[in-house]
Structure 1
Amino acid sequence: MQFNPKNKTSNIILLIASFVIVSLILWNTNSFFKKFKEEERHKMEIWATAHSELLSAPLDADPGDLPLKVFQNNISTPMILVNKDGSTKIHNMPVEKATDTVFIKNTIAKFKSENQPIVIDHLGEELATLYYGNSEVLNKLKYYPLALLLIIFLFGAVIFFFFKTNKASEQNKLWAGMAKETAHQIGTPLSSLLGWNEILKTENINPDITREIEKDINRLETITERFSKIGSLPKLDEHDIVAQTKDAYDYLKLRSSKLIDFSFVSKVENMKVMLNPALYHWTIENLVKNGIDAMKGKGSIHIEIIPDGKYVNIQITDTGHGIPKSDHQTIFNPGVTSKKRGWGLGLSLVKRIIEEYHKGKIKVHSSSKAGTIMQISLKQIPK
């Protein structure tokens, strides 16, 4: 995320303020954790004192209600009491673990790492040693700073992607505006070319020349229409996919190098789909030109139309160097290109035209040792 220079000072202040707030929250949480741990220590010392009073009291004496109240109230802190004769007694832990010596030994070692043991004595005589661990509440509190950091991280990630998406949206609007302006600017000389072509038709020249000029003028009109549709939802109408594909194929074949061997096969006739012809022709043109570039101007381009259930597949095959399998998922991303000169927008536009505008699918079948098959799938209109 890049900061706007005009708001750089504000952004720095915001970052510093955020850092200070997070640091204060973490510091306060750590202080609270330590204080809570001290409170548990005091509670355990009271428990040890009550136990000392109970052990040192004569057998016929009444210990009173206070020690019993202390024992009854402590139901959350796990404890192991080791008497001076070596016998042990567990508190606030599963009863079945009381006879498990391995468990007792491991738990004592764990408790010693968490809290300093409390020696229970009376008049200088050691009666027992109390080992205790952290209560469930304290254990949960221990992970609170990590949870807080995770929440802050996720919040920051959301903000980052929001600004990134917002910036990308602004760039898309800019490119769409430039495309529409380009289409508008092309319109003026295009109208002039139409007029000059009509004048040429009245002169004594070969009619084939004016027809070819007219085709190129129509092509420029198509390109203008394409640019004018960028950034807006195009209108789809019912069209024959075979005729539209063949029309794009014929135009490209006529204007491509003779070193390219073109072929066209359709296994179906007059299949209707919802289509925007200008954008679909743009798609075929991009895929064919990519194939020609991959073959370095010499090879074969084969276009085949195959029915596939509810869909119809249009396959454009070239005999170029192929695309490594590891790149199949990234070639449709904006800016990805294998050319020394190029912006990497062609396949990105193709994906958008097919998947977003026509609700179809596009995928690649290729390897680094063979050619490439680009397959477009569009939904048929039921007859």
Structure 2
Amino acid sequence: AVLAHEIRNALGSIKGYVQWVHEKLEKPDPKKDGLSVALQGVSRIETLVNDLLGFSRKEKYRIERLNPVHLIQEAINTAGSSWKGKVELESKPGIRAMGDREKLYLSLANGIRNAIQAMEGDGNLRISAYPDGRWVNILIKDTGPGIPDEEIPRLFTPFHTTKTDGTGLGLAYSMKVVEGMGGKISLANRKKNRGAVLTIRLPRTRERDSE
């Protein structure tokens, strides 16, 4: 973690200088394009370092009774803000679960982002939340190409990714925090339709609010 912090601080200095030079150059200058590529590379390393720091730190949980549907809606608004395809949200009224709001939100946003990327610009994003015994199930379904069967067991392994621009830490972090909240997370191909489904299960609380 100390090394990651040092790398992030050094990157901040490099990024600041490269941005300054980039802004000073006029558009036709070929060096401006080169600096744009350099900035993209720095941002890529920044993302990797931030993900590594987030994954390696010891998490503190604030477990409370929450409305998962509200957090799903927030995650859709953030992670799916530029999505042009169809979005469906199905839920039972009055569902309540036990979990950490911020960590559940991050896991939902990551799952929604992955589903949208898998569909490559068009498709149907379907999210459902419903009680199942002592659990609340949250399903994020896409209509993408699905996942090769041999890849599924490895997708929650830190640094394993099938994306050219992925860090391989998103699903690993989601598994870490969902299990830390006393829940379960899994990923599979849909049985009847094209695409994949991410399932998050959280402990259910039976009391129902009037909201």
TM-score normalized by the length of structure 2: 0.68
Residues of 1 paired with 2:55 and 2:169: CA distance? 17
**CA shift at 1:227, angstroms?**
5.3
Q: Secondary structure at the match of 1:250?
A: helix
Contact 2:136 2:201 in 1 (8 A): yes
Q: State the alpha-carbon separation in 2 of the partners of residues 277 and 321 from structure 1.
A: 31
What SS is found at the alignment partner of 2:77?
helix
- Give the fraction of aligned pairs with identical amino acids, expressed as a percent: 26
Q: Report the secondary structure of 1:339's partner residue.
A: coil
What is the Cα deviation at residue 366 of structure 1?
Answer: 0.5
Which residue is equivalent to 1:261?
86
Q: 2:181 aligns with which of 358, 361, 366?
A: 358
The C-alpha deviation readout for 1:96-150, integer Å capped at 9, x for no partner, is: xxxxxxxxxxxxxxxxxxxxxxxxxxxxxxxxxxxxxxxxxxxxxxxxxxxxxxx
Q: In the alignment, is the contact (CA less than 8 A) between 2:95 and 2:130 conserved in 1?
A: no
Cα distance in 2 for residues equivalent to 1:342 and 1:263: 26
Question: 1:235 pairs with 59, 62, 65, which one?
Answer: 62
Residue 274 of structure 1, CA deviation: 1.9
Q: 1:227 to 1:337 in 2, by over 3 A?
A: closer
Q: Distance in 2 between matches of 1:337 and 1:228?
A: 15
**Greater RCO between the two (CA within 8 Å, min separation 6)?**
2
Query: 1:178 & 1:326 partners in 2: Cα distance?
Result: 35
Question: Are 2:99 and 2:202, in contact at CA under 8 Å, matched by a contact in 1?
Answer: no
Do the aligned residues in 1 keep the contact of 2:79 with 2:109 (CA within 8 Å)?
A: yes
Q: In 2, are the aligned partners of 1:325 and 1:367 still within 8 Å (CA)?
A: no
Q: 1:371 to 1:228 in 2, by over 3 A?
A: closer
Structure 1 or 2, whichever has the larger Rg, is: 1
8 Å contact from structure 2 (residues 155, 161) kept in 1: yes
* Contact preservation (8 Å) 1:243, 1:270: no
1:222-371 matches, cutoff 5 A? 230-253=57-80, 255-258=81-84, 260-266=85-91, 268-355=92-179, 357-366=180-189, 370-371=194-195
Q: How many residues align?
A: 164
Question: 1:367: Cα distance to partner?
Answer: 6.4
**Offset at residue 285 of structure 1 (A):** 1.0
| C-alpha spacing 1:359/1:322, structure 2 compared with 1 (3 Å) | same
- Going from structure 1 to structure 2, the CA distance change for 1:311 and 1:229 (only over 3 Å counts) comes to same
1:102-251 to 2 correspondences below 5 Å: 173-174=1-2, 178=5, 230-251=57-78
Q: Is the 8 A contact 1:324 1:367 kept in 2?
A: no
Q: Distance in 2 between matches of 1:328 and 1:229?
A: 23
Instruction: Output the aligned Cα RMSD.
Output: 2.9
Alignment TM-score, normalising by the size of structure 1: 0.39
More helix by share: 1
* Partner secondary structure for residue 319 of structure 1: coil
- Measure how far apart 1:228 and its partner are: 11
Query: In the alignment, is the contact (CA less than 8 A) between 1:238 and 1:273 conserved in 2?
Result: yes
For each residue in 1:123-180, what CA deviation from the matched residue of structure 2 results, as whole angstroms up to 9, or x when unmatched? xxxxxxxxxxxxxxxxxxxxxxxxxxxxxxxxxxxxxxxxxxxxxxxxxx448x739x
Where structure 1 has 5 or more consecutive residues not aligned to the other structure, the ranges are 1-172, 186-222
Structure 1 pair 310–234 and aligned structure 2 pair: CA distance change class (3 A): same
For 1:305, the aligned partner's letter is A
State which of 194, 198, 209 in structure 2 corresponds to 1:374: 198
Q: Distance in 2 between matches of 1:235 and 1:314?
A: 20
Q: How far apart, in 1, do the equivalents of 2:105 and 2:117 lie?
A: 18
The CA distance in 1 between the partners of 2:119 and 2:2, in whole Å, is 34
The 1-side partners of 2:160 and 2:190 are apart by: 17
Question: What's the offset of the Cα at 1:231?
Answer: 2.5
Distance 1:341 1:251 in 2: 20
CA distance in 1, matches of 2:158, 2:56: 19
Change (3 A) 1:264 1:361: same
